[in-house]
Chains A and B, each alone.
Chain A
Amino acid sequence: MTSMTDLEPMTARLAADLTGTFPDLVRELSGGLFSGALRLLGDRQDAEDVTQEALVRAYRALESYPTDRIEQLQLRGWLWTITANLCRNRLRQRARRPTTPIDPSIAVEPSPGPADEAVRSETIDELVGHLLSLPWPMRSAVVLRHVVGLGADEIAIALDRPAGTVRSDIHRGLARLRTLYTEEHP
């Protein structure tokens, strides 16, 4: 998992050579952005669209920033500010349209295997469903912490909430997920 410290040289490289470094940023960070967007939105096509749009917007913004501002960016938190806003907008748009059932194939990568694998896959499917049932503040905090791997300080930047609130949302979100799981598996 890429840590914030690992990305510090990338901000310096972006500041010095944006066009040369941006492809590396895309290759390195698009997986995390896509995974998070997928779990926030529950739709693979929407996640693709949001990830692409977020990276394009990031590049346009970086083009306009002075180098010292780029050097001081907390890159993942900043990228997730853009991505989380796009996810929220996408959810709002979707709420105004007729609902589409969540595609169960997005839950896990298909993996033929023994019976215990099938049971585990079912558990993961349930988890994906429960995650999508959480209110946005908890869902976004839990996904960014435990699926994407951001720290609380990065999530605070991404979601524009105090770090203490983020920690509380993560804690309450995990508690809610455990409760939902226990209710289905008494």
Chain B
Amino acid sequence: MTIESDLAALTAEPPASLTGRVLAAVDLADEYVERPSPLGTLFVAFNVRGVCAVDLAPNAAAFEAAHATGGAGPRSPPATCPIRSPATSTPPSPGAIRGDSPWI
């Protein structure tokens, strides 16, 4: 072993969340939640600007495939692009439209 090869072994994996955090910080990461509805599973994608897509889809992969837009859409898998849990969303304000969505 040489000191050069020992140095080359000092690489380290960044945390899996890093990519998602960077993309979220520059407004390139969309996140989404899925909610059951009488019409089927409803997917709502959002980013720092607000809701950017609402759609029905049979599963997450189908939703991601339908809304992949060259990096700006919700194509990041949940593992690298954390999905906000509805439980942590702001509760509905008085007088808001009642529904099952965490945003209304």
Contact = CB atoms under 8 A, between A and B. Distances in A.
B29 to A, nearest CB: 8
Contacts, number: 93
Given A23-B19, A24-B71, A52-B22, A123 B14 contact: no
Nearest to B23: A23
Contacts of A44: 12
Chain A interface, DSSP helix/strand/loop, else mixed:
helix
B14 A30 contact: yes
- The B interface is mostly helix, strand or loop, or mixed, namely loop
B18 interface: yes
B14 A21 contact: no
A158 B18 CA distance: 22
Contact of B71 (A20, A33, A177): A20
Interface residues of B, number: 25
B23 to A, nearest CB: 6
A114 B45 CA distance: 49
B11 A31 contact: yes
Contact of A127 (B3, B15, B22, B72): B3
Interface residues of A, number: 43
Interface in A32-67: 32-35, 38-39, 44, 48, 51-52, 55-56, 59-60
